[in-house]
Amino acid sequence: MTLQNLRIAAGAIVLFCVLLPAHAVTWTVRSEPARLVNGAPLLFRVKPPAKLDSLSGTWLGHQLTFSYDAATRTWFALAGVGIETAPGKYTLELTGARPSPKPPLNFSRSFTVARATYPKIKVELTVEKKFTEPTPEQLQQIEEGKKVKQDYFNRVTPDREWSGAFTTPAEASISDVFGSQRIFNGVAQSPHQGLDFRVPAGTPVAAMNNGTVLLARPMYFEGNFVVLDHGQGLLTLYLHLSEFKVKEGDVVKRGDVIALSGGTGRTTGPHLHVAVRWQGTYLDPARLMQLSLP
């Protein structure tokens, strides 16, 4: 290196230090809640070291699109940990786009996922035989229902429609929590993928957040079924309804009455089963309602 080049290099280093004060070169990345467990939704909050045009990330194989919260000057994205995720360390990879010609900024941070304790109480339930031993005709209806769900559930809308906290769909006590192990007619089922509210038939059911009605139709297991799309792969599902108050394509606001509860589909009696689906994974609705969201 010539003396001339050395001077230029030294000058560049000085300039670099002036332009990038020490406090601004680090990322702040945190999760709410701080303790992550399988089956739980969470909010990532990110403070990047520079102004970004957009921020995206990957987490447990999912794509995250962050929104900017001007009030706290942070980027946020709702995400989750699937109930089947084993305890361990998992990495959140971030890519921030900057105005051209600046190169994107990358950052990664690992988070520890602990094992949640879900009730192991085995509940003996009796449902009609058609739900545990369906006939070939009923199997065909079940298959059709599966196809509808596969088709609609995978239509991820890129824009976020939810805003602020998710609120309860019914003012009622909980009759079964997320993650519990259930037995139907002596046959063990997969863990309970939703939250059950003890409500008589005909109780108004409210939208948990802003969204668009993705499905409002009768299904084999779900009974009369409403699914709201809150954007970016986040859905809320309302099962066993007696009456629809919305139709597919309707835009709803948090708290709007979307249906009346009932006892249709695979159920032992009238109640409201609510589920939260995020990019193919079911998350605990109770934990989602506990999150304070921007």
Chain residues binding Zn ion by CB under 5 A are: 194, 196, 273
Q: Which lies closer to Zn ion via its Cβ, residue 192 or residue 230?
A: 192
Q: What's the half-sphere exposure (Cβ side, CA atoms, 13 Å) at 134? A: 13
Shortest Å, Cβ 240 to Zn ion? 8
Q: 196 or 284: whose CB is closer to Zn ion?
A: 196
User: At its nearest, how many Å lie between Zn ion and the CB of residue 195?
Assistant: 7
Nearer to Zn ion, 20 or 123 (CB): 123
Q: How far is the CB of 196 from Zn ion (least distance, A)?
A: 4
User: Residue 267 Cβ, how far from Zn ion at the closest point, in Å?
Assistant: 8
Contacts of the segment 85-91: beta carbons below 8 A, 24+ positions apart: 85/38, 85/60, 85/113, 86/38, 86/113, 87/38, 87/112, 87/113, 87/114, 87/115, 88/112, 88/113, 89/113, 90/59, 90/60
What residue is closest to Zn ion based on CB? 273
Report the nearest approach of Zn ion to the CB of residue 192 (Å). 6
Assess contact for 58 and 107: CB atoms under 8 A: no
- Closest approach of Zn ion to the CB of residue 36, in Å: 24
> Does 21 sit behind a cis peptide bond, omega within 30 degrees of 0 on the bond before it?
no
Query: Quick one: 63 exposed, middle or buried, by C-beta within 10 A (0-12, 13-18, 19+)?
Result: middle
CB-based burial, 253-268: b 16+ in 10 Å, e otherwise: ebebebbbbbbbbbbe
Of 196 and 222, the one with the shorter C-beta distance to Zn ion is 196
245 vs 273 by CB, closer to Zn ion: 273
Of the two residues 41 and 194, which places its CB atom closer to Zn ion in the complex?
A: 194
Neighbours of 73 (CB within 10 A): 9
